Structure 1
Amino acid sequence: MAGLLTTAAPIGAPDAVAAEIHRWAAEPFDLGDGNCGLSVIDYVARATGQPAPHWLRRLGRRGAARLMRDDARFERVASAALAAMQCSGTDSPVRGDVALVLLAGSGLTACICASSANGGLWAARGDRAAVLARGTVRKAWRVRCRRP
């Protein structure tokens, strides 16, 4: 599992996925401001340098709760936000890409690909935790990290 937190990146080069997993382990989950969807969007913004769509923050707790109950709406909102951030869809997600993943016991969840080996391992936001699990990808997007 430790290999998911580090990579063979050059010495001193940050690994965006590892940094995000560490961030999630240190910050509380908040339905309105620090949920799985917003956390993944914030990761994409940091990794790509693209600004997160401002309208996402206006959804608040009620909007987030509605998305949790409606997978089709969750997918539409995620698609619109990621398109605005210039992320294209992919059928072959790799480490660092993002997706909506059906996780056992959690339902549809916004995740970061922690590993694409053996069917994929997905990082999801928990309360002061990152949950690593296998799941079924509903829709995935390529995240092209900016060069330092």
Structure 2
Amino acid sequence: MYTPPSARVSAAYRQVDLSSQVMSASPHGLISLLFTELRTCLVGARDAVARKDVTAKVRLIGKASRLLDEGLIAGLDMRAGGALAENLHSLYSYCLVRLTQANAQNDAAVIDEVLKVLQPVMDGWTEIGNQART
């Protein structure tokens, strides 16, 4: 498959930008980046289901699942986090199961459900960052 040079250059710049954001981010900022990318993947996967683009759907749901598992779940401190960490672990694990179902069933409504379930956590995380800056 041919990719125009301008698309390759643009992708390279996006990768460098993301790498610099990660390298300079605080721990709170890293989680914010994970949430931002997770939301982008979920919206993209939902749109891919609507377009019947199976390749994009599988890629985006796979990436969203990795962000949940290897980023958000792996980042939980179960010992220090107590009940909050346990609840987040349960929520993220539920979302992983639902994304697997959405992928298998080509169900955009399930992807919307995952977005809806995660939205309060994402909003709360953003609010924590806003309060810390003031």
Q: TM-score, normalised by structure 1?
A: 0.27
Between structure 1 and structure 2, the one with the greater Rg is 2
Q: Which structure has more helix as a fraction of its residues?
A: 2
Q: Which structure has more strand as a fraction of its residues?
A: 1
The higher relative CO (CA closer than 8 Å, separation ≥ 6) is in 1
Q: TM-score, normalised by structure 2?
A: 0.29
